């Protein structure tokens, strides 16, 4: 095992746990928030286990994902907008719980947790199918078009999974107000996809034909 890589992965993981905890529980004004802990659990436990699997089975993929730095100016804007969206959504969810503005019943939180875990499973399958999957928009050396499995249904199954993940988060937290904030993810991800497809069509052989063959971007028969 690469001790340095393991250290980097653990540092990033626990900094994410700390940041998420602060964004949720400080606005909530308490640690006694079941839905907050539910989201923390379903988000970080699978992430930790997936990191261990990648550490042992695909350390180069883990290293690439830890070191990813977006070069596209358009994509840096998308990342900034996404970060602001998440910041607002988590703070609103915490305040919503604290002041009891409009709180959904527990059954909605548990149903949304199931959707969230389904999104995680979908994301894991995308990682398995596409060895060139990257956190940044780029064309990698020797990259080829992947058109089997989920990629034969939609062109961007990773974004299908993130749509499930991100839109379900606020419902796990029981906050319809926060859910309204996360709807901003739809135009944000549309902007990212538009730029990404332009980059891939210019730089990845066969992508233009693939784009014509697989019509839908994220949701079959809809988008």
Distance CA 175, CA 32 (A): 16
* Span 6-53, pLDDT tens digits: 888 889 999 999 999 999 999 999 999 999 999 999 999 999 988 888
Other CB atoms closer than 10 Å to residue 171's CB: what's the count?
24
CA distances from 219 to 43, 151, 158, 164, 215 (A): 23, 12, 11, 11, 10
Sorted by where each starts, the structural domains of the chain and their CATH numbers stand as 3-213 (1.20.120.1630)
Closest CA to 68 of 19, 124, 140, 16: 140
* Span 83-138, pLDDT tens digits: 999 999 999 999 999 999 999 999 999 999 999 999 999 988 888 888 767 656 66
Global pTM reads 0.89
Q: Name every residue whose Cβ is closer than 8 Å to that of residue 33 and which is 6 or more positions away in sequence.
A: 24, 25, 94, 97
Structure tokens at 136: 């940044």
Closest CA to 1 of 44, 53, 65: 53
62 by DSSP, 3-state: which? helix
The reported pLDDT for the residue numbered 176 is 97
Q: Is residue 166 within 8 Å of 182, Cβ to Cβ?
A: yes
Residue 79 pLDDT grade (very low, low, confident, very high; cuts 50, 70, 90) = confident
């Amino acid at each position: 095992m690469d001790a340095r890589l393991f250290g980097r992965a653990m540092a990033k993981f626990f900094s994410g746990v700390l940041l998420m905890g602060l964004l949720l529980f400080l606005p909530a004004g308490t640690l006694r928030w079941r839905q907050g802990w539910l989201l923390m659990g379903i988000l970080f436990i699978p992430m930790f286990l997936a990191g261990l699997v990648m550490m042992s089975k695909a350390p180069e993929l883990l290293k690439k994902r830890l070191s990813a730095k977006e070069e596209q100016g358009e994509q840096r804007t998308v990342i900034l907008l996404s970060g602001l969206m998440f910041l607002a959504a988590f703070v609103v969810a915490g305040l919503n719980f604290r002041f009891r503005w409009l709180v959904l019943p527990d059954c909605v939180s548990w149903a949304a947790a199931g959707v969230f875990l389904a999104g995680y499973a979908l994301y894991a399958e995308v990682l398995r199918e596409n060895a060139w999957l990257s956190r940044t928009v780029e064309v990698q050396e020797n990259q080829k078009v992947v058109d089997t499995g989920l990629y034969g249904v939609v062109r961007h199954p990773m974004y299908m999974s993130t749509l499930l993940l991100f839109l379900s988060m606020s419902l796990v937290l029981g906050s319809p107000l926060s859910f309204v904030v996360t709807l901003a993810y739809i135009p944000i991800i549309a902007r990212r996809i538009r730029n990404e497809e332009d980059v891939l069509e210019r730089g990845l052989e066969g992508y233009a034909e693939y784009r014509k063959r697989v019509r839908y971007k994220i949701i079959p028969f809809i988008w």
